[in-house]
Structure 1
Amino acid sequence: MFFDLGAGEILGLAIVGMLLLGPERLPKAAAEAAKWVKKVRTLSQTATAELRENLGPGFENLQPADLHPKTFVKKQLGDLLDETPATKPKRPTAKIDPDLI
């Protein structure tokens, strides 16, 4: 699920909702919450599609999780830490332009 809730947590939330709202208002509140979640999901999908479109080629597989700073840093550090000395690319040697001397 979205928030990684199990059956016990959902049952507990339903019981708390029943106590707070009562059995008369709970179905209406659940329907309103579902509409709100659908609006937020649609908004996020639209924003992601617009972002992909505006960034141009190379970002077709962009996922919202890729934009999270923690994920970005882990990915970048993971790439650096995975390099072993044998697979590490050689540093390019500096070449001096003879016209500059």
Structure 2
Amino acid sequence: MFFGLDMEKLIIIGVIAALLIGPERLPKAAEALTRFIRQARDWMRGAKGKMKDELGDDFDEIEWRKLDPRQYDPRRIIRDALLDDAPVRTVQAAAVGGAITAAAAPPQRFEPDGPVPFDDEAT
């Protein structure tokens, strides 16, 4: 696939472009497109080489598919965050007479059929 297009759509776009450009200007347009693709490929190779130089040996170890932003689903991220067991945090406050330690209420586990969680300190 080429940027999410399948081959039939790409051929249709090419035929329409050839009809719009015309037979006189088609060789020049194809040459310009070829030049642009070569420049873009050279630029990408240069960027990849520069990244490889800056990251060193760690460049090959990076799992690039994990960094693809298209894989993230905000609904899944929020659901996982709500269903995840959060660690219990303690709150410590300093007073004039000494240190006062107050334990925060343990976080409540989100139940899909239960009431909506509400944090009165955040609002």
TM-score under structure 1 length normalisation: 0.54
Q: Call closer, same or farther: CA 1:72–1:57 in 2, change over 3 Å.
A: farther
Q: Call closer, same or farther: CA 1:14–1:73 in 2, change over 3 Å.
A: closer
Aligned pair count?
Answer: 76
Identity among equivalent positions (%) equals 28
| Aligned equivalents of 1:35, 1:43: Cα separation in 2 | 12
Structure 2: segments with no counterpart, 5+ residues: 74-79, 81-123
Moved more, 55-64 or 28-37: 55-64
**Alpha-carbon shift at residue 35 of structure 1 (Å):** 1.1
Q: Which residue of 2 aligns with 1:35?
A: 35
Q: Which residue of 2 aligns with 1:19?
A: 19
Bigger Rg over Cα: 2
More helix, by proportion:
1
**Alpha-carbon shift at residue 48 of structure 1 (Å):** 0.9
More strand, by proportion:
2
Q: Which has the higher contact order (CA 8 A, sep 6+)?
A: 2
| Aligned equivalents of 1:54, 1:28: Cα separation in 2 | 39
| Aligned equivalents of 1:4, 1:55: Cα separation in 2 | 30
Structure 1: segments with no counterpart, 5+ residues: 75-80, 82-101
